[in-house]
């Protein structure tokens, strides 16, 4: 398997190159691009980025593991990121989590066998006023209850 | 560069302006604990163990990132510093497994040493609460990683990124999960990789070849010179004679020499001790029958006196003292002395760092004694005497004698000689530096000089 940036991205890369004094500065933007293009960052993508950034593959790999928002594994179509920080925890996110686990039959960090859902827990999503909160792909779902979450998931199936 | 005076623990020292404080402390044997600093790798400032008090500075400072200036006043052993070091060590040990009884590094581990020097606290951590991690990951190149023991000093990472520039290792993840790794599916793979084992201050990186072989406090370290190539890296031969067993070499380690090899050696040289103890010639053989030392000398003498056209082959790995003795001997018996050198040449071995194209330790001596490095003869050779030269089998002669370290000789008369680790002598490396190797291993086998001087007694 090999990875190539699509034409749109290649154009963007050229533009970025002209903005920074060193190509190594492109590591983070290129990791984002790869993730948006494939849904996750494959080792092949890391290899390609290392080539463009003229740096050993390890340099890109370690950056990709440092940030939790980079996904190195293929994710389900819907990525559930449930907030686990203080406000959400106090407002009963634990029961919401149990409800998700029951409904989908997966643990945190796993994907459903049909490839539809991946379940993660994340730090504060910055929406404490409406906790508990989950981010589903790019959308926030707020004021969750163990019942409302099941309805949301059912609608997606 | 101008010199400045620095006051350390109420004594004054001179140092070059803008040199590193930690170098000054190390130079004068002033106790300072450190994990991440290394003379060949530079400062990284991540371990925080090297804290000292500097007059006029509010907080303790790290010595590895402090440049000396005139009149600086430093305390390295105050109560405050001791307690700072104790606390840092305690943090370092939070997730450390403390499995010293089964760790190869025990006895030469910085963490152990510093704990005895500065730690000695009661742990606040319950063993069950420690973060566990993988304990034997084969990184490649015979290096095994134990992630639980790692103190994340990044010496190994900086070695692969700054010195070999092969960039195989890195710190991945972060926080409690941070650990050393290669890229998945890739290996630590370069001709100097095993230096990370010496660089690692703790038992996180160990050598597959040395794992569980010996406790380091039983080993004797003998200073010597690697005979792998003509660079002549300075080494320690670590060996031990267990009860009722032969003295055995367990590992070779680099010995610091700024002029030659710095702090490092190549993996080929490091592992060359195996060949020193395998398949060794121990007996004296005449037509495959074991004979005594005296009979061997008589046989050699009669061969020499019965031959006219004698050729002597000499190995470019022998010590200067051997080559001198052989050169004298060859003049005395009127023999032709040669050392064909093309068999040592291997440009796939050499590189632009330590490894040289010539895989022999004393080429320079062959040149100094003006010994022919090319040999061809249309004349029939009556007697060929080989002093361990590898190309012996390429020559044909009526009669042959071989002084040999290793088995497999086809000569009629085979005389065992010691390997370089089994006696002492000097070699000259390709930068023309003369270096001395001490005797590490004891053997009963006679040296070339002994053979030749005893032979002259027989010949009288
Ligand atoms: S493996 Fe050893 S050298 Fe490498 S970071 Fe860990 S402690 Fe340091
Ligand atoms: S570079 Fe040559 S002398 Fe140095 S360790 Fe390697 S083989 Fe031995
Ligand atoms: S704690 Fe959940 S959004 Fe802030
Ligand atoms: S040696 Fe100074 S911080 Fe590690």
- Nearest to residue B255, comparing CAs of B221, B211, B227? B221
Give the 3-state DSSP-derived string for chain B, with helices as H, strands as E and coil as C.
Answer: CCEEEEEECCEEEEEECCCEHHHHHHHCCCCCCCCCCECCCECCCCCCCCEEEECCCCCCEEHHHCECCCCCEEECCCHHHHHHHHHHHHHHCCCCCCCHHHCCCCCCCHHHHHHHHHHCCCCCCCHHHCCCCCCCEEEECCEEECCCCCCCCCHHHHHHHHHCCCCCCEEECCHHHCEEECCCCCCCCCCCCCHHHHHCCCCCEEECCCCCCCCHHHCEEEEEECCCCCCCCEEEEEEEECCCCCEEEEEEEECCECCCCECCCCHHHHCCHHHHHCCECCCCEECCEECCHHHHHHHHHHHHHCCCCEEEEECCCCCHHHHHHHHHHHHHHCCEEECCCHHHECCCCCCCCCCCCECCCCHHHHHHCCCECCCCCCCCEEEEEEECCCCHHHCCEEEEEEEECECCCCCCEEEECCCHHHCCEEEECCCCCEEEECCCCCCCCCCHHHHHHHHHHHCC
The sign of the CA dihedral B438, B443, B446, B448 is negative
Give the chain A residue nearest B168 (alpha carbons): A58
Q: Hey, which CATH number is domain A78-156, 3.40.50.1820, 3.40.30.10, 3.40.50.261, 3.40.50.800?
A: 3.40.30.10
Q: Find the A100 Cα to ligand 3 centroid distance in Å.
A: 18
Using 50, 70 and 90 to split pLDDT, how confident is the model at A117?
very high
Q: Do A58 and B183 touch (CB under 8 A)?
A: yes
Average pLDDT, rounded, for chain A: 95
Q: What topology is assigned to B100-207 in CATH?
A: Alpha-Beta Plaits (3.30.70)
Closest ligand (CA of B23): 4
Q: Is A145 helix (H, G, I), strand (E, B) or coil?
A: coil
How many interchain CB pairs under 8 A, A with B?
Answer: 34
The confidence score (pLDDT) of residue B160 equals 97
Q: What residues of chain B lie within 8 A of the CB of A123, using their CB?
A: none
State how far the alpha carbon of B351 is from the alpha carbons of B164, B255, B273, B356, in Å: 11, 20, 22, 6
Q: Which class would CATH give B285-458? A: alpha beta
Give the chain B residue nearest A69 (alpha carbons): B173
**B24, B12 contact by CB (below 8 A):** no
- To the question of domain B3-93 being in CATH 3.40.50.300, the answer is no
| Domains in chain B: boundaries | 3-93, 100-207, 285-458
CA distance B327 to chain A (A): 52
Long-range pairs of B131-139 with CB within 8 A, sequence gap ≥ 24:
B131/B95, B131/B176, B131/B177, B132/B97, B133/B179, B135/B97, B138/B208, B139/B168, B139/B169, B139/B182, B139/B187, B139/B188, B139/B205
Give the chain B residue nearest A42 (alpha carbons): B184
Number of other residues whose CB lies within 10 A of the CB of residue B227: 26
Q: Do B183 and A43 touch (CB under 8 A)?
A: yes
Q: Do B172 and A57 touch (CB under 8 A)?
A: no
The confidence score (pLDDT) of residue B175 equals 87
CATH of segment(s) A7-66: 1.10.10.1590
Which one of A24, A47, A65, A66 makes the best mutation probe of the B interface by having the most chain B beta carbons within 10 Å? A65
Q: Are strands B247-254 and B234-241 parallel, antiparallel or unpaired?
A: antiparallel
* ipTM for the assembly: 0.84
Q: Find the B445 Cα to ligand 2 centroid distance in Å.
A: 26
Out of A56, A58, A66, closest to residue B173 by CB: A66
| Torsions phi, psi for B2 (to 5 deg) | -85, 155
Tell me the best of A124, A134, A140, A141 to mutate to test the pocket of ligand 3, counting ligand atoms within 8 Å of each CB and taking the most: A124
Spatial distance between the Cα atoms of B173 and B180, rounded to a whole number of angstroms: 9
CA distance B182 to chain A (A): 7
User: Both ends of chain A: CA-CA distance in Å?
Assistant: 30
What is the Cα B14 distance to its own chain's centre? 33
- Nearest to residue B323, comparing CAs of B361, B360, B365? B365
Q: What residues of chain B lie within 8 A of the CB of A61, using their CB?
A: 170, 172, 183-184
Q: Do A61 and B169 touch (CB under 8 A)?
A: no
Spatial distance between the Cα atoms of B48 and B85, rounded to a whole number of angstroms: 8
| Torsions phi, psi for B259 (to 5 deg) | -75, -25
Out of B169, B173, B174, closest to residue A58 by CB: B169
Q: What residues of chain A lie within 8 A of the CB of B171, using their CB?
A: 62
Number of other residues whose CB lies within 10 A of the CB of residue B376: 7
- Please indicate whether residue B200, judged by its CB atom, sits closer than 6 Å to ligand 1: yes
The confidence score (pLDDT) of residue B132 equals 87
Give the chain B residue nearest A66 (alpha carbons): B173
User: Cα angle vertex B308, ends B304, B313, to 5°?
Assistant: 65
Using 50, 70 and 90 to split pLDDT, how confident is the model at A85?
very high
Closest ligand (CA of B169): 1
Q: What residues of chain A lie within 8 A of the CB of B182, using their CB?
A: 58
User: Both ends of chain B: CA-CA distance in Å?
Assistant: 65
Number of other residues whose CB lies within 10 A of the CB of residue B165: 9
B170 touches chain A (CB under 8 A): yes
Q: Do A58 and B174 touch (CB under 8 A)?
A: no
The confidence score (pLDDT) of residue B275 equals 96
Spatial distance between the Cα atoms of A125 and A74, rounded to a whole number of angstroms: 22
The first and second tokens of residue B195, run together, are: 């230096």
Closest ligand (CA of A144): 3
- Please indicate whether residue B205, judged by its CB atom, sits closer than 6 Å to ligand 1: yes
Question: Whose C-alpha lies nearest to ligand 2, atom 7?
Answer: B228
pTM of the model: 0.91
Out of A55, A59, A66, closest to residue B174 by CB: A66
B173 touches chain A (CB under 8 A): yes
Pocket lined around ligand 4, Cβ cut-off 6 Å: B 34-37, 45-50, 62, 64
The strand ranges marked E within chain A are: 78-83, 117-122, 134-136, 139-141
Which residues of chain B are under the pLDDT cut of 70?
460
Give the chain A residue nearest B176 (alpha carbons): A66
Closest ligand (CA of B361): 2
The sign of the CA dihedral B437, B438, B441, B446 is positive
- Please indicate whether residue B36, judged by its CB atom, sits closer than 6 Å to ligand 1: no
| Domains in chain A: boundaries | 7-66, 78-156
B185 touches chain A (CB under 8 A): yes
Pocket lined around ligand 3, Cβ cut-off 6 Å: A 83, 85-88, 124-128, 131, 133
């Amino acid at each position: 398997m090999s990875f190539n940036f699509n034409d749109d991205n290649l154009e963007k890369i050229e533009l970025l190159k002209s903005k920074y004094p060193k190509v190594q500065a492109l590591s983070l933007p290129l990791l984002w691009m790869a993730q948006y293009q494939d849904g996750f960052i494959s080792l092949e993508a890391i290899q390609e980025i290392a080539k463009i950034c003229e740096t050993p593959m390890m340099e890109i790999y370690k950056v990709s593991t440092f940030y939790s928002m980079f996904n190195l594994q293929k994710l389900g179509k819907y990525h559930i990121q449930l907030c686990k920080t203080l406000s959400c925890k106090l407002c009963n996110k634990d029961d919401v989590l149990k409800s998700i686990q029951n409904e989908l039959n997966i643990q945190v960090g796993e994907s459903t066998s049909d490839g539809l859902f991946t379940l993660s827990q994340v730090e504060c999503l910055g929406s404490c006023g409406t906790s508990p909160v989950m981010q589903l792909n790019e959308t926030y779902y707020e004021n969750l209850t163990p019942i409302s979450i099941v309805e949301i998931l059912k609608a997606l199936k | 560069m101008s010199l400045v005076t620095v006051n350390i623990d109420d004594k004054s020292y001179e140092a070059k302006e803008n040199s590193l404080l930690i170098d000054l402390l190390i130079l004068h044997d002033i106790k300072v604990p450190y994990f991440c600093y290394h003379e060949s790798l530079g400062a990284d400032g991540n371990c925080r163990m090297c804290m000292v008090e500097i007059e006029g500075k509010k907080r303790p400072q790290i010595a590895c990132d402090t440049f000396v200036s005139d009149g600086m006043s430093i305390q390295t052993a105050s109560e405050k510093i001791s307690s700072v070091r104790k606390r840092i060590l305690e943090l370092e040990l939070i997730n450390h497994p403390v499995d010293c009884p089964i760790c190869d590094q025990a006895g030469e581990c910085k963490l152990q040493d510093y704990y005895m020097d500065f730690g000695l606290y009661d742990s606040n951590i319950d063993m069950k609460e420690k973060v566990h991690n993988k304990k034997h990951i084969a990184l490649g190149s015979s290096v095994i990683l134990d992630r639980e023991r790692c103190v994340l000093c990044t010496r190994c990472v900086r070695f692969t990124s700054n010195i070999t520039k092969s960039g195989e290792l890195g710190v991945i993840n972060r926080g409690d999960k941070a650990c050393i790794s290669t890229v998945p599916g890739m290996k630590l793979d370069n001709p100097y990789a095993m230096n990370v084992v010496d660089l690692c201050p703790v038992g996180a990186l160990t050598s597959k070849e040395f794992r569980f072989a010996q406790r380091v406090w039983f080993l004797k370290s003998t200073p010597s010179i690697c005979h792998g190539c003509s660079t002549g890296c300075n080494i320690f031969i670590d060996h031990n004679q267990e009860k009722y067993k032969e003295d055995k070499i367990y590992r070779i380690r680099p010995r610091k020499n700024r002029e030659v090899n710095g702090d490092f050696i190549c993996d080929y040289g490091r592992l060359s001790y195996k060949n020193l103890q395998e398949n060794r010639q121990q007996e004296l053989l005449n037509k495959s029958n074991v004979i005594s030392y005296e009979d061997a000398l008589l046989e050699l003498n009669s061969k020499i006196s019965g031959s006219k056209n004698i050729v002597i082959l000499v190995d470019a790995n022998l010590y200067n003292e051997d080559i001198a003795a052989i050169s004298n001997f060859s003049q005395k018996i009127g023999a032709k002395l040669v050392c064909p050198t093309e068999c040592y040449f291997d440009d796939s071995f050499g590189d632009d760092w330590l490894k040289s194209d010539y895989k022999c330790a004393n080429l320079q001596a062959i040149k100094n004694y003006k010994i022919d490095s090319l040999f061809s003869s249309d004349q029939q050779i009556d007697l060929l005497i080989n002093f361990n030269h590898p190309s012996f089998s390429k020559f044909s002669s009526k009669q042959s004698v071989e002084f040999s370290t290793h088995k497999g000789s086809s000569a009629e008369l085979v005389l065992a000689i010691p390997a370089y680790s089994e006696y002492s002598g000097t070699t000259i490396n390709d930068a023309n530096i003369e270096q001395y190797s001490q005797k590490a291993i004891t053997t009963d086998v006679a040296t070339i000089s002994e053979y030749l001087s005893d032979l002259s007694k027989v010949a009288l």
